[in-house]
Amino acid sequence: MIQARRRVVITGLGLVSPIGIGREDVWRNALAGMSGAGPISGFDPSRLSTRIACEVVDFDPEQFMDRRATRRMDRFAQMAVAAARLGLDDAGLDPTKIPDAGVYVGSGIGGLSTFVEQTQVALERGPDRLSPLFIPMMIANMGAAQISMQLGLRGPVLSTVSACATSNHAIGEALDAIRLGRANVIIAGGAECAVVEIGIGAFNAMRALSTRNDAPTAASRPFDAGRDGFVMGEAGAVLVLEEWSHAIARGAHIYAELLGYGLTADAHHVTEPDPTGTAPAGAIRMALADADVDPEQVGYVNAHATSTPVGDPNEIRAILLALGEAHAKKCLVSSTKSMHGHCLGAAGGIEAALTALALNTGWIPPTINLDHLDPECVGVDHVANVARASQVEVAVSNAFGFGGHNAALVFGRVESP
């Protein structure tokens, strides 16, 4: 007998972001079109051509764990643990009562600040003075591992590393794990804190970042003809995914249903996307097929669009290919990176949460700073500068990473019991 596929819903949102900490703050600021960009405050950026970023300026890790624990974690892992606690609180789940819950949380880079600090120690004082915690603080799986250890979760734990597609891959793999019965609850998303001098400098060397230092809040401008690169952000962002009947049995609030997941590769270039858009379009089509959803049912796309000259038009081509040009004209599209910046491996986590909230509330967050639409980015209904009321039934959230990684998620609106 063929068993019905297990349904998966989102019952909690944990967000530590440049536009707020906690679901309520982040959603309020996203609808208001608030920018989280400003002059870099975490270090002296005077030697860099880019001196702006989207930092989480008011994050205190000791609100989420004891001081001893914070000293044994890189900032990215601290944000991962904080996001997980916020997500479980939002879901109304006690971690001590769900020891078999899973954690699928990735990071594109991992503990970059720890790597820089310890490299400096080795150069100045010698390798025998390195901290024994250097490796455990630096490696990218420690966001997921620290959530597991801090919360006592002994279910499946996995850390994805696929650049800016990391969170979407983590969420998609968690979806499949719950469908397969490996867990009833999985915390899924990403964490990233690469706003350090070498991080900004390295992306500057690639000419990927905006240098609009005199107007940071206007620097991230996806789809706009005047864009000159992305604004780097930092964040911890997770969804609490839960099997449908498990959520219903405890009377959980449901933000949305996670319907489908698709992933492909460009096989083209280490940083530039395939200009045809066929591979990301394939990821969207795969996710729609997995969700058993027709392209014409998609009402909103939270675009990966980072505010780069090459990437934004390529994504529009992918959307047109995946949804069809006729329907794409009616499909609402926005890039919330215009507000929270590009949080690399954590970006998909924030954007998935905002997509779920759009379905849940009937409000679509805008692309701010979209003043002059690039002619290469036409063909969809851009939600420019101001949030728009629209009750959407199905939405897609895209994430594309260096190396040609493409991952798309499909969400459906649910009337919460």
Q: Point out the residues that are catalytic.
A: 164, 304, 342
First to last CA, the chain: 29
CA distance linking residue 387 with residue 394, whole number of Å: 18
| Sequence-distant (≥ 6) Cβ neighbours of residue 58 within 8 angstroms | 21
Per-residue pLDDT tens listing for the chain (417 residues)? 456 899 999 999 999 999 999 999 999 999 999 999 999 999 999 999 999 999 999 999 999 999 999 999 999 999 999 999 999 999 999 988 988 899 999 999 999 999 999 999 999 999 999 999 999 999 999 999 999 999 999 999 999 999 999 999 999 999 999 999 999 999 999 999 999 999 999 999 999 999 999 999 999 999 999 999 999 999 999 999 999 999 999 999 999 999 999 999 999 999 888 899 999 999 999 999 999 999 999 999 999 999 999 999 999 999 999 999 999 999 999 999 999 999 999 999 999 999 999 999 999 999 999 999 999 999 999 999 999 999 999 999 999 999 999 999 999 999 866
- Look at residues 328, 346, 338 and name the one whose alpha carbon lies nearest to residue 396: 328
Give the domain ranges of the chain.
Answer: 10-249, 259-412
3-state SS, residue 188: strand
- Cα distances from 48 to residues 32, 53, 116, 201, in angstroms, run 31, 12, 16, 6
Q: How many CB atoms lie within 10 A of CB 133?
A: 15
Closest-CA residue to 284 (of 313, 258, 318, 328): 318
pTM above 0.85, yes or no: yes
CATH of span 259-412: 3.40.47.10
Other Cβ atoms less than 10 A from the Cβ of 130: the count is 14
Strands, DSSP E only, in 54-201? 102-106, 157-158, 185-192
The residue to which tokens 């728009």 are assigned: 388
Please, what CATH class does the domain formed by 10-249 belong to?
alpha beta
Domain 10-249 and domain 259-412, same fold? Reply is yes
